[in-house]
């Protein structure tokens, strides 16, 4: 389980989110919704442990991320698959090199072992034939698939974090990425956090939904809870 307990997160000059309580059960996907600048990416940084809470604690399977020392954090982050906004691939490297990069840098695996891992991951995301291509030769949807494969490279993930995985994609491609996120969830039984502002995608990938507004989580629940809400912000969000 991922548990946010009264978490406040921010930067030196300002607090971005305050007093957040969330629980993501084993194997479930929570979608984080909210306006641009409301702190969605900041929340993911908290789970990754690259930003420490000013208050409260973030626990993953019982361990407080804030208590991990440098070594523990490295091990912990290997099990967190982060898919950055826009995929954030290295355009100067091939697809295979993008996926294998971390393994070459941080493990003593042989080239053959790394290549096998790369091929397994590319097969999983349905892209084995693009291993030698460069990201800028791929469609937006393919780049997101590569980014998902890369996020899983170090180890089969415990947690997957997706920052706006479908932004800029057409509806058909968005759906296929949502389906892939579901497939990762099923296959690896991961807990996932997905940031999006697209409600269709949200309902396609999520088990639980959480709305951030004015620095706070204003509502969390399943689809029934969200659709039954009387909150004016949520009603506006649902109707647009």
Ligand X SMILES: Nc1ncnc2c1ncn2[C@@H]1O[C@H](COP(=O)(O)OP(=O)(O)O)[C@@H](O)[C@H]1O
- The reply to whether 11 sits near ligand X by the rule CB under 6 A is yes
- The reply to whether 18 sits near ligand X by the rule CB under 6 A is no
Total binding residues for ligand X by CB under 6 A? 10
- The reply to whether 40 sits near ligand X by the rule CB under 6 A is yes
The interface region with Mg ion, picked from 40-48, 91-99, 106-114, 186-194 by CB under 5 A, is 40-48
Rounded least distance, CB 41 to Mg ion, Å: 3
**Of residues 84 and 203, the one with the C-beta less far from Mg ion:** 84
Among 28, 31, 34, 157, binds ligand X (CB under 6 A): 34
- The reply to whether 39 sits near ligand X by the rule CB under 6 A is yes
Q: Rounded to an integer, what distance in angstroms lies between the CA atom of residue 77 and that of residue 154? A: 9
Bridge partner residues of 159 (DSSP): 80, 191
- The reply to whether 18 sits near Mg ion by the rule CB under 5 A is no
Query: 9: Cβ–Cβ under 8 A, 6 or more apart, which residues?
Result: 15, 16, 17, 20, 39, 42, 43, 45, 46, 51, 53, 54
What does DSSP assign to residue 26? T
Using CB atoms within 10 Å of the CB of residue 184, give its burial: 0 to 12 exposed, 13 to 18 middle, 19+ buried. Answer: buried
Among 3, 31, 33, 38, binds ligand X (CB under 6 A): 38
**Of residues 32 and 153, the one with the C-beta less far from ligand X:** 32
The C-alpha torsion from 67 through 71 and 76 to 77, rounded to 10°, is 120
- The reply to whether 173 sits near ligand X by the rule CB under 6 A is no
Q: Rounded to an integer, what distance in angstroms lies between the CA atom of residue 107 and that of residue 20? A: 36
**Of residues 162 and 188, the one with the C-beta less far from ligand X:** 162
Which strands form 29-34's sheet, in the order they lie side by side? 80-83, 159-163, 191-195, 29-34, 208-213, 216-221
Total binding residues for Mg ion by CB under 5 A? 1
- The reply to whether 41 sits near Mg ion by the rule CB under 5 A is yes
Which strands form 55-60's sheet, in the order they lie side by side? 14-24, 2-11, 55-60, 63-64
Rounded least distance, CB 34 to ligand X, Å: 6
User: Cβ atoms within 10 A of the Cβ of 83, count?
Assistant: 27
- The reply to whether 220 sits near Mg ion by the rule CB under 5 A is no
- The reply to whether 20 sits near ligand X by the rule CB under 6 A is no
Q: Are 209 and 33 in contact (CB under 8 A)?
A: yes
- 104, interface contact from ligand X, Mg ion, none, CB < 5-8 Å by kind: none
Binding positions for ligand X, rule: CB under 6 A: 11, 16, 34, 36-42
Binding positions for Mg ion, rule: CB under 5 A: 41
């Amino acid at each position: 389980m991922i548990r946010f307990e009264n978490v406040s997160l921010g930067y030196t000059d300002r607090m971005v989110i305050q007093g957040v309580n969330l629980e993501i059960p084993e194997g479930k996907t929570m979608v984080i919704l909210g306006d641009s600048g409301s702190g969605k990416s900041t929340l993911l940084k908290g789970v990754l442990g690259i930003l420490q809470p000013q208050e409260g604690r973030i626990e993953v399977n019982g361990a407080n991320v804030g208590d991990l020392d440098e070594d523990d954090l490295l091990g912990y982050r290997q099990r967190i698959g982060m898919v950055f906004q826009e995929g954030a691939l290295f355009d100067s490297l091939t697809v295979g090199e993008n996926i294998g990069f971390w393994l070459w840098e941080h493990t003593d695996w042989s080239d053959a072992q790394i290549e096998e891992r790369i091929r397994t991951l590319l097969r999983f995301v349905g892209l084995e034939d693009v291993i030698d291509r460069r990201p800028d030769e791929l469609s937006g949807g393919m780049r997101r698939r590569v980014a998902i494969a890369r996020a899983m490279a170090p180890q089969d993930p415990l947690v997957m974090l997706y920052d706006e995985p479908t932004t800029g994609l057409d509806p058909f491609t968005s759906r296929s990425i949502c389906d892939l996120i579901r497939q990762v969830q099923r296959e690896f039984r991961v807990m996932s956090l997905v940031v999006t502002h697209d409600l269709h995608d949200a309902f396609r990938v999520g088990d639980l939904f959480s709305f951030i507004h004015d620095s706070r989580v204003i509502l969390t629940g399943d689809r029934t809870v969200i659709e039954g809400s009387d909150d004016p912000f949520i009603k506006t969000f649902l109707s647009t």
